[in-house]
Amino acid sequence: MTKFGEDWKRGFRDLILEAGKKALEDSNLHGAEIDGLFAGTMAPGPLIGQEHAGALLADWMGLNPIASTRVEAACASGGVALRQGFMAVASGLHDCVVEGGVEKMTDVSGPDVVSALGGAGDQEWELFPGATFPAIYALAARRHMLDYGTTEEQMASVAVKNHLNGSKNKYAQFQSPITIETVMKSKMVASPLKVFDCSPVTDGAAALVLMPLDKARAHTDTPIEIAASAQASDTLALHDRKSLTELNATKVAAKKAYEMAKVGAKDIDIAEVHDCFTIAEVMAIEDLGFFKKGQGGPASEKGQTALNADISVNTSGGLKACGHPVGATGIKQAVEVTWQLRGQANGRQVDGAEIGLTHNVGGSGATAVVHIMKRVN
Active site residues per annotation: 75, 324
In 10 A of CB 149, how many CB atoms? 11
**Which runs of consecutive H residues, i.e. helices, occur in the chain?**
12-26, 44-48, 53-60, 77-90, 110-118, 133-148, 152-166, 180-185, 213-216, 248-261, 278-287, 296-301, 318-321, 329-342
CA 123, CA 200: separation in Å to the nearest integer? Answer: 22
Angle CA 1–329–358, to nearest 5: 105
Angle CA 110–115–118, to nearest 5: 120
H or E element that contains 40:
strand 36-40
What residue type is assigned to position 282 of the chain? V
CA 153, CA 225: separation in Å to the nearest integer? Answer: 38
Q: 70 has which bridge partners?
A: 39
Residue 221's contacts (CB-CB under 8 Å, 6 or more residues apart) are: none
CB 323 within 8 A of CB 104: no
User: What does DSSP say about strands 193-194 and 367-375: parallel, antiparallel, or unpaired?
Assistant: unpaired
Q: Measured between alpha carbons, how far is residue 370 from residues 147, 257, 287, 362 in Å?
A: 27, 7, 12, 12
CA 9, CA 11: separation in Å to the nearest integer? Answer: 7
Residue 8 phi/psi, 5° resolution? -90, 0
